[in-house]
Amino acid sequence: MAIEYVLRTALERHIISTRRHFTDVVQDIRAEIDARASAGGPADRLAMARCPEAGPDRAAALAPGVSRLVRLVLDRPSTTAELARTLPDVGLYCPVSILVQQITDGGTRLSYDSVAGAIAVHQDEAATAVAQSFDAEILALLRRVADRD
């Protein structure tokens, strides 16, 4: 007999808006990830999966006011493994996603749901510390890219 329960988690979504062009933002994020890929061992690398971009018609259907949309999926195997040691549910939150949206007025919006916020309900101090460090790295990258001229 199966048992089902619902665990309500808090969502901590970071939204960063910039006047930078969508293509430049996406290229800069990919370039930073690629540059980091050569540092450290394979498990310590921040890796990005290639995800298809939603063009203007599909993006507008998904999100009114958005002309282009891409989801970037990032993972660091060592971080995921460290989190999974104490919190097996981490597989629901890692790898992480960054949603990059080109707004019809020409700006770009970056959205990121923090891992620390998602796992807060579990009240695991060790996992929270690892997740906060990972979130800080991702958010620093996004802020750096958004602030470029």
Whether residue 44 is predicted with pLDDT greater than 80 in this model: the reply is: no
Q: What is the pLDDT of residues 66-106, one digit of tens each?
A: 678 899 999 888 899 999 998 888 878 888 999 999 988 88
What pLDDT does residue 11 have? 87
Closest to 110 in 3D by CA, of 124, 120, 119, 99: 99
Whether residue 60 is predicted with pLDDT greater than 80 in this model: the reply is: no
What pLDDT does residue 144 have? 96
Q: What pTM did the predictor assign?
A: 0.84
Domain 13-147 adopts which CATH fold? Answer: TATA-Binding Protein (3.30.310)
If you average pLDDT over residues 116-133, what whole number do you get? Answer: 93
If you average pLDDT over residues 7-30, what whole number do you get? Answer: 92
Q: If you write DSSP's letter for every residue of 54-117 in order, what string do you get? A: E-HHHHHHHSTTEEEEEEEEEE-HHHHHHHHHH-GGGGGT-SEEEEEEEETTS-EEEEEE-HHH
Whether residue 53 is predicted with pLDDT greater than 70 in this model: the reply is: no
What pLDDT does residue 127 have? 93
If you average pLDDT over residues 129-138, what whole number do you get? Answer: 95
What pLDDT does residue 92 have? 82
Whether residue 149 is predicted with pLDDT greater than 60 in this model: the reply is: yes
